[in-house]
Amino acid sequence: MGNASETSLFADTSLFLSTISKEHDILMGTIYAIFGVFSLVGNGILLFVAYRKKSSLKPTEFFVINLSVSDLGMTISLFPMAISSAFAHKWLFSEVTCMSYAFCGVLFGLASLTNLTVLSSVCWLKVCCPNYGKTMQNLDL
């Protein structure tokens, strides 16, 4: 058994090829591109409006801003590689880039899940536990 560099999965270039049909790869690349544009525009508008109204933001709105930053980070770091690889019908990048791609996916995914968990917890407290919700005057949703 050799060291890690000798047993790398990326040493076999046939593993770069996509296992789905070329038509489905093109369809997925197109869908990624459409969602990427909508994500850039939507999250960009949200961040611009939040910047303009920063003095009147409520605490829970910062979680929405954080969710937008997380989504934008995922769009900027992951979508270009996914789109170009889908259209090429193979992974176009190195092993290090693949590891970075996976790291960014986990990082931004966990950040989004954490934000959504906090937002849903605040909503639950305000709706289902009104006695506790009244003490959260600044946490209006």
pLDDT at 12: 61
Q: Are 26 and 86 in contact (CB under 8 A)?
A: yes
Q: State the pLDDT at residue 137.
A: 55
For 28, the token pair is 């997925």
Q: How far apart are CA 58 and CA 138, in angstroms?
A: 6
DSSP 3-state percent helix, strand, coil across the chain (nearest 5): 80, 0, 20
Length of the chain: 141
Per-residue pLDDT tens over the stretch 78-123: 999 999 999 999 989 998 999 999 999 999 999 999 999 998 988 8
Query: According to the model, what pLDDT value does residue 58 have?
Result: 85
15 has pLDDT over 70: no
pLDDT of 1 higher than 50: no
| More confidently predicted of 54 and 129 | 54
Whether the predicted pLDDT of 131 surpasses 80: no
**pLDDT for 139:** 55
28, exposed or middle or buried, with CB in 10 Å at 0-12, 13-18, 19+?
A: middle
Please report, for residues 27, 29, 85, 95, the alpha-carbon distance to residue 24 in angstroms, rounded to integers and kept in the order given.
5, 8, 12, 24
Q: Could you tell me the residue ranges of all domains in the chain?
A: 19-134
29-71 residue pLDDT tens: 999 999 999 999 999 999 999 999 999 988 878 989 999 999 9
